[in-house]
Amino acid sequence: MSIQTRYIPVNAFLAYLQFEKRYSIHTITAYTNDLVQFFDFIETQYDSIPLPQITGSMVRTWLASMKETELTGKTLNRKISSLKSFFKYQIQQGGLSKSPMETVISPKVRKRLPAFVAEQDMEQLLLNLSFAEGWKGLTEKLVIQLFYATGMRLSELIGCKETQLDASKRIIKVLGKGNKERILPISEALAKDLSNYIKEKPEAAIGNPILFINENGKSLQPRAVYTFVKFYLSQVTTLQKKSPHILRHSFATHLMNNGADLNAVKELLGHASLAATQVYTHNTIEKLKEVFAKAHPKA
């Protein structure tokens, strides 16, 4: 399904993102919102001038108007990135010779360390916490186990099919961003539990190839997964954010804290660049500082 706007150049760019770059629908929707918002502003303020006449000054005026709505620096940077990609595409297609974004500077944003659940809290959650009875509880526990065991994204997990699990090899294939496939190792115990889960599926699930299903045989919905993950995490942690993505952060942080190679963690997470993974080294450094402060007599 392609997204259409009333701006022809934007439509061509969105088609490029979908069919050539193979971006997810969520990413394309974000680009769409940013670009439509920008061109609505251009149409209103400058009477729909042609692309070559758009200047950096006009872009900065738009960004200034965004600041008045109290958008965060992170959101502004995303909008700038969307415009940079759009105008770069126009140059590649021969529609422009120069990008107005050359004179636009992204605001500096202080990077926050990823929040994560402490190892002992994850152990309490998986070993000692009582889950709901029946199929619902079994599904919810296995979902949380798989999140923490693999660092999967929410979209990757709920879209995972039975055929992506190879219990004998103790691996699970994941289709990540840009339809890039990666292979994730899992423990023997988890592989066995997932295999048994598939065998025990209710009759209502017949014909549904998705790995995790609810009591009615339907695929899990993102909001439902978010809700029960938040509920169970609230039993063991006081973190402000209690989402499936926190389990991904916990997976990566615990690997780093226990000496995992940074490049290996990058591959497991499916990051395109090492820079995205390096943020987890900061948590490792913080842990080292904590150990030093407690153990060294001159700390």
Of the candidates 141, 153, 242, 254, the residue annotated as catalytic is 153
The question of whether 280 is a catalytic residue gets the answer yes
203 exposed, middle or buried (CB, 10 Å; 0-12, 13-18, 19+)?
exposed
The question of whether 153 is a catalytic residue gets the answer yes
Of the candidates 7, 89, 232, 280, the residue annotated as catalytic is 280
The question of whether 271 is a catalytic residue gets the answer yes
The question of whether 170 is a catalytic residue gets the answer no
The question of whether 248 is a catalytic residue gets the answer yes
Of the candidates 248, 249, 254, 266, the residue annotated as catalytic is 248
The question of whether 182 is a catalytic residue gets the answer no
* CA distances (Å), origin 222, targets 7, 282, 292: 31, 30, 41
Of the candidates 84, 88, 182, 245, the residue annotated as catalytic is 245
Of the candidates 84, 230, 271, 282, the residue annotated as catalytic is 271
Of the candidates 78, 88, 177, 230, the residue annotated as catalytic is 177
Residues carrying an active site annotation: 153, 177, 245, 248, 271, 280
